[in-house]
Chain A
């Protein structure tokens, strides 16, 4: 259990928290990790707070319950902070990655956490620049790779490009935009 990495995604319905968890899981699986990716199924309404989870491990993953002590928390929508307990169950050395234009220090004050590490990236702006719409989930994955070293950017981009090509065969601009978003967020994520 010790080496199993658990991630909790906070977002709002429509922002792609579940898709992000699935894409991350698939990418980690493609480089030989054992994974789980699943959302907390609620009313599934656009804008309602949603949770999604990942488990990533070198051993087969057996537990089938929610992640309650995530080592990593990813917040797709900064307006959730304060309304939604994003710090719940996170250990002292937990990692927070937040989509915001604030600095990590400013975000730490908002999160009211002492230990661990806080990373920030303006994924919404990046997605508007590269994809043309505010869909922060793919850039957040680029930032997550940088913050955690989960896998190499090259491996992740290769797998994601393959997935996007299957899904958006007729819209090559969507594929390029998403890849650019991942790469930009990887570069622009700020640490303390």
Chain B
């Protein structure tokens, strides 16, 4: 039987990794991810897992070793944050390009400079075009559930793409809250064994990984990668359906919260979505038709479904915990607005919030809804991009 415990996000993710029991984990410590692999290494030392734990000298090496292990046929994982993810950069593209179903929790943290260890989404947003699947988690429960599901999603025969499971640094990674953990055997039978189609250690069926791929073939292989992304949505939903059977918890491509009859909608991902739900309830009591769309699968981007969910709204605010620095808003805004281009047009605005761990509270999010109410009433957008909670 699953049981509800008090647990931090990092502990929950480490427990999920223990239950997944990967063949290889190669990782390097970085705040606020450190605890995940620190706790996991105790499982290795205590013999609770069969994992070969590879200590490396950098995140670049961590991802490299994970790639090697995955190409050899292993179920391989790593974990990182911020500068660590940045240092993995070239290897992220290689993992995706070689179609290796690596799974990595990423604890969202700001990128330097100025140096900062706290939460925002600059790290994973920068990796959004690397070809990895990106799944975002509101709380410890979702981080745990998403990590377990990510194994099945990444390794699915139609997908074969690495996946990162994101959660907010400190807010979720270090904050203690409640989560229900599944029994070990339930998780183990859910994730099963990896059965790679090709692997370096399959000596009877030799395969070359990472061969030179010039203008005569590279384009075809990138086209395949783009094609595989189109299968991800369906697989995410299928895996979610199966996961609901073992957990009783339902997941989709995104979560709609009181959105169906809403006129004013906020789009957000990760922990601020929880705060926004409380605001929606509050505003609903005051008579405002407020709703929320929390993106779970950000890469690939479920554009058709998001457009269907947001069509007909009067005004929409997209909240970004990363700045695109393009002068036209954050990355989530750019995607949502682009997807909505052909839909009958609600007014859309963007709020950049919470950079470097700046707290975002219920009052600020309520303020966003009141802005939307004004926009819906007047039909006028005075500020397409607003920096929410910055000192003027």
A residues contacting B by CB (< 8 A) are 1, 21-22, 25-26, 29-30, 34-39, 41, 60-66, 68
Contacts and interface: CB of A to CB of B under 8 A. Distances in A.
B75 interface: no
Nearest to A55: B177
A66 B359 contact: yes
Contact of B172 (A39, A60, A64): A64
Nearest to A64: B271
Contact of B176 (A1, A37, A63, A65): A37
B328 interface: no
Q: Which of B176, B275, B282, B360 has the most CB of A within 10 A?
A: B176
24 contacts: A1-B278, A1-B281, A26-B6, A29-B4, A36-B177, A37-B177, A38-B175, A38-B176, A41-B118, A41-B174, A61-B177, A61-B274, A62-B139, A62-B274, A62-B278, A64-B168, A64-B171, A64-B172, A64-B275, A65-B275, A65-B360, A65-B362, A66-B359, A68-B361
B356 to A, nearest CB: 12
Nearest to B168: A64
Nearest to B118: A41
B174 A38 contact: yes
Interface in B29-55: none
A60 B274 CA distance: 10
Contact of B178 (A22, A34, A39, A66): A34
Interface of B: 4-6, 117-118, 138-139, 168, 170-172, 174-178, 271-272, 274-275, 277-278, 281-282, 357, 359-362
B178 A35 contact: yes
Contacts, number: 70
B272 A37 contact: no
Given A41-B118, A60-B178, A66-B359, A25 B278 contact: no
B379 to A, nearest CB: 31
Contacts of A37: 6, 175-177
A64 B272 CA distance: 6
A41 B170 contact: yes
B178 A63 contact: no
B273 to A, nearest CB: 8
Given A35-B176, A36-B176, A63 B170 contact: no
The 3 closest A-B pairs by CB, nearest first: A38-B175, A29-B6, A62-B274
Contacts of A1: 278, 281-282
A4 to B, nearest CB: 9
B5 A29 contact: yes
Given A29-B5, A38-B171, 19 more contacts: A1-B278, A22-B176, A26-B6, A26-B176, A29-B6, A34-B178, A35-B6, A35-B177, A35-B178, A36-B175, A37-B6, A37-B175, A41-B170, A41-B357, A62-B277, A62-B278, A64-B139, A64-B168, A65-B359
A71 B174 CA distance: 23
A65 B178 contact: no
A30 B359 CA distance: 29
Contacts of B4: 29
Contacts of A26: 6, 176
B175 A63 contact: no
A39 B360 CA distance: 15
A62 B275 contact: yes
Contacts of A35: 6, 176-178
A36 B170 CA distance: 13
B362 A25 contact: no
A90 to B, nearest CB: 16
A63 B6 contact: no
A61 B177 CA distance: 8
A66 B361 contact: yes
Q: Which of A26, A35, A60, A62 has the most CB of B within 10 A?
A: A62
Contacts of B275: 62-65
B180 to A, nearest CB: 11
B165 to A, nearest CB: 17
A152 to B, nearest CB: 18
B177 A63 contact: no
A65 B358 CA distance: 10
B176 A25 contact: yes
A64 B117 CA distance: 18
